[in-house]
Amino acid sequence: MEILYIIIFFILGITLGSFYNVVGYRLPKNESIIKPKYSYCPSCKKRLTNKELIPVISYLIQKGKCRGCGEKIAFFYPMIELLTGLLFAVCYYSFGFTYELIIALTLVSMFTIIIVSDTKYLIIPDEVTITGIIIIIITKVFNLGIKTTLLSIGNGLIMFIAMYLVMLLGNYIFKKESLGGADVKLMFVVGLVVSPLVGFFVIFVASLIALPISLFLGQINNEKVIPFGPFIMLSVILFYFLKIDVNLLLEYFRFI
């Protein structure tokens, strides 16, 4: 039965991953995610049939090309679908049918949408952040009570203010925008699900992951700006899933 549920969540994930592609591509362009109701090829605008919308499988059958115009379909699309499916399966495997599962699925959903929107447009739609915040708060209210939820909201405000101050400092030092406002808003989400102490480690780990990637992109593509949102979400997901004991980390750093 456990394997069956994992498979179900994987299928649910790749299906929603297809929708998250649409959300990530359309919202930054102020396009509706429900109109048109159908998906279409970005090159020839041909309406995609049901056979062309099967997550991952359609891409493989069509050999990565549009059946209408023959234009190559970016591998990014099935990659997001597959990533979402795998992460949804991990969510169930890690938390089972608990309130933590809802929070984990919310974080993963935000993560995959933000990968699309922030990578392609350097934009994290407020709709995505606000929806995630609402779902997490409602989940906590019904499962942990108002008092604990208010504490989490307070933690979110602490992380928001801390990141905002980091942004102001970065802007002053580099004499240009060092962080996007959307990245600052994401830290409110981080504070909702982990303590402020863990939140600062989230920033540290996100920066640690982003640094070599930014250096690599700077070398090959002369990229001067990289999306930081995906790294924030990846970092908080790692801490949330692995339930890392920050006190042990502090003891480790103190030892070395």
pLDDT bin (cut points 50, 70, 90) of residue 33 is confident
Whether residues 92 and 128 fall in one domain: no
- Residue 110 counted as domain residue: no
- Residue 159 counted as domain residue: yes
pLDDT bin (cut points 50, 70, 90) of residue 150 is very high
Q: Is pLDDT larger for residue 214 or for residue 130?
A: 130
Q: What digits encode the pLDDT tens for the residues 216-253?
A: 666 655 656 788 899 999 999 999 998 876 665 555 55
Mean pLDDT of 100-109: 97
- Residue 113 counted as domain residue: no
Residue 38 has pLDDT above 70, yes or no: no
Structural domain tally of the chain? 2
Q: Is pLDDT larger for residue 159 or for residue 36?
A: 159
Whether residues 181 and 232 fall in one domain: yes
Q: What digits encode the pLDDT tens for the residues 157-179?
A: 999 999 999 889 888 887 777 77
- Residue 222 counted as domain residue: yes
Whether residues 201 and 243 fall in one domain: yes
Print the domain residue range for 251: 124-256
- Give the pLDDT of residue 104: 97
Residue 255 has pLDDT above 70, yes or no: no
- Residue 104 counted as domain residue: no
Residue 156 has pLDDT above 90, yes or no: yes
DSSP the chain: -HHHHHHHHHHHHHHHHHHHHHHHHHGGGT--SSSSSS-B-TTT-PBPPGGGGSTTHHHHHTTTB-TTT-PBPPTHHHHHHHHHHHHHHHHHHHH-SSHHHHHHHHHHHHHHHHHHHHHHHS---HHHHHHHHHHHHHHHHHHH-HHHHHHHHHHHHHHHHHHHHHHHHHHHHHSS--S-HHHHHHHHHHHHHS-HHHHHHHHHHHHHHHHHHHHHHHHHT-------HHHHHHHHHHHHHHT--HHHHHHHHHH-
User: For residues 116 and 227, what is the distance between their CA atoms, to the nearest angstrom?
Assistant: 10
Q: How many CB atoms sit inside 10 A of residue 96's CB?
A: 11
User: For residues 80 and 170, what is the distance between their CA atoms, to the nearest angstrom?
Assistant: 32
- Residue 102 counted as domain residue: no
- Give the pLDDT of residue 52: 64
CA atoms within 13 A on the CB side of 25: 15
- Residue 186 counted as domain residue: yes
**For residue 36, is the peptide bond before it cis, meaning its omega torsion is within 30 degrees of 0?**
yes
Q: How many CB atoms sit inside 10 A of residue 252's CB?
A: 9
Q: What digits encode the pLDDT tens for the residues 40-99?
A: 666 666 676 666 677 777 777 777 776 766 678 778 888 999 999 999 999 999 999 999
Mean pLDDT of 130-135: 97
Whether residues 148 and 240 fall in one domain: yes
- Give the pLDDT of residue 220: 56
Whether residues 66 and 128 fall in one domain: no
- Residue 105 counted as domain residue: no
Whether residues 128 and 254 fall in one domain: yes
> What value does the mean pLDDT of the chain take?
86
- Give the pLDDT of residue 227: 87
Whether residues 49 and 130 fall in one domain: no
- Give the pLDDT of residue 252: 55
Whether residues 73 and 191 fall in one domain: no
- Give the pLDDT of residue 59: 78
Whether residues 155 and 192 fall in one domain: yes
- Give the pLDDT of residue 96: 94
- Give the pLDDT of residue 250: 59
